[in-house]
A and B are shown apart, each in its own frame.
Chain A
Amino acid sequence: MSEDLRSSLESAPPRNRWPWLVAAAVAVLVIVVVAFAATRGGADSKTSVANGKPVRGGTLQFALLDAQNSPDPQLGTNYAESIIANNIGDKLVWQDPKTGKITPWLATSWKFNHDLTQLTFHLRRDVTFSDGTKFTSASVKANLDQFIRGDAKLGILPNGASLFPGYLGTDTPDEYTAVLKFKQPLASALQAASITSNGQPVFLAASTLKLSATQRAADATKIIGTGPFVYESWKPQVNTVLKRREGYNWAPPAIGHKGEAYLDKVVFNTIPEASVRTGSLTSGSIDATLDVGTTDEQPLRAQGFQIITRPVSGTPLRIDLNSSLFPTNDIAVRKAFQLGWNRDTIKKTVLSSSYAIATSILEPSVAGYVDHSSTLTYNPDEAKKLLDDDGWKPGPDGIRVKDGKKLTIKVLGVNNLVANKPAFESIQADLLKIGINLQANVVPHQDFMALWVNARTAWNGTAGNTSRDDPVVLNATYSPLLGNQGWLDPKSADGKKAIEVLGKLDTTLDPAARVKYAAAAQDLLVDQLALTNPVYDATQVIAQAPYVHGIIFDAQSRNEFVDAWKSNGK
Chain B
Amino acid sequence: MLRYVAMKLGRAAFVIWAAFTLSFVLLFVLPANPVDLLFDPDQLNTLSPETKARVAASYGFDKPLPAQYLDRLGHALRGDFGTSVRSGRSVTGAIGDVMPSTIVLAVGALVLALAIGFGIALLASSTRWAWLRGVVEALPTAAVSVPIFLSGILLLQVFAFQLGWFPAYGDSGWTSLVLPLVALAIPVSGPIAQLLVRSFDHELHSGYVTTSWAKGATRSQVLVGDVFRNASLPALTIAGITFGNLIAGSVITETVFARQGVGRLTQSAISALDVPLVQGIVMFVAVTFAVINLIVDLAYPLLDPRLRATLATGSAGMRRPR
Contacts and interface: CB of A to CB of B under 8 A. Distances in A.
B43 interface: yes
Contacts of A27: 142, 145-146
B25 to A, nearest CB: 15
Interface string A70-85: 1010010100000000
Q: 10 closest A-B pairs (Cβ-Cβ)? A: A213-B88, A23-B138, A217-B89, A70-B87, A2-B322, A162-B43, A162-B46, A152-B58, A38-B157, A19-B138
Interface string B133-147: 011011101100110
Contacts of B141: 20, 23
Interface string B22-34: 0000000001110
Interface of B: 31-33, 36-48, 51, 54-55, 57-58, 83-84, 86-90, 93-94, 97-98, 134-135, 137-139, 141-142, 145-146, 149, 153-154, 156-158, 160-162, 164, 167-171, 198-199, 201-202, 205-206, 255-261, 264-265, 268, 270-273, 321-322
Given A5-B322, A236-B97, A269 B169 contact: yes
Contacts of A19: 134-135, 137-138
Contact of B258 (A31, A157, A270): A270
Contact of A449 (B37, B97, B170): B37
A9 B43 CA distance: 64
A485 B40 CA distance: 12
B162 A41 contact: yes
Interface string A434-477: 00000000001110011011110000001010100000000011
A169 interface: no
28 contacts: A34-B154, A35-B154, A37-B157, A63-B169, A72-B88, A150-B55, A157-B38, A214-B88, A216-B88, A217-B89, A236-B97, A237-B98, A237-B260, A238-B170, A238-B171, A238-B259, A273-B149, A273-B255, A275-B157, A276-B153, A276-B156, A276-B168, A280-B169, A285-B168, A454-B32, A476-B42, A482-B46, A483-B42
A429 B108 CA distance: 50
Contact of A22 (B134, B154, B156, B264): B134
A8 B202 contact: yes
Contacts of A446: 270-273
Nearest to B58: A152
A484 B258 CA distance: 39
B200 to A, nearest CB: 12
A218 interface: yes
Contact of B154 (A38, A285, A445): A38
Contact of A213 (B32, B83, B138): B83
Nearest to A5: B202
B321 A2 contact: yes
A217 B44 CA distance: 25
Given A37-B162, A283-B160, 16 more contacts: A1-B322, A8-B205, A38-B157, A70-B88, A150-B51, A150-B55, A214-B83, A238-B260, A269-B258, A271-B258, A275-B157, A282-B161, A283-B164, A445-B271, A452-B44, A464-B41
Most buried by A among B47, B89, B145, B265: B89
A40 interface: yes
Contacts of A270: 258
A212 B87 CA distance: 11
Contacts, number: 220
B135 A483 contact: no
A60 B260 CA distance: 21
Contacts of A276: 153, 156, 168-169, 256-258
Contacts of B273: 446, 449-450
A549 B168 CA distance: 24
A158 B51 contact: yes
Nearest to A166: B48
B269 to A, nearest CB: 9
A422 to B, nearest CB: 21
Interface in A33-78: 34-35, 37-38, 40-41, 63, 67, 69-70, 72, 75, 77
A158 B55 contact: yes
A272 interface: yes
Nearest to B169: A271
A152 B57 contact: yes
B90 A214 contact: yes
Given A1-B322, A444-B271, A449 B205 contact: no
A4 interface: yes
B260 A272 contact: no
A57 to B, nearest CB: 22
Given A72-B88, A449-B37, A237 B134 contact: no
A525 B158 CA distance: 53
Interface string A1-39: 110110011001000101110110011001100110110
A307 interface: no
A110 to B, nearest CB: 24
A453 B55 contact: no
A235 interface: yes
A446 B201 CA distance: 49
A476 B258 contact: no
A60 B113 CA distance: 38
Nearest to B150: A31
Nearest to A455: B41
B5 to A, nearest CB: 22
A296 to B, nearest CB: 13
A423 interface: no
Nearest to A484: B45
A269 B46 contact: no
Most buried by A among B55, B135, B142, B145: B142
A155 B58 contact: yes
A401 interface: no
Contacts of A462: 41
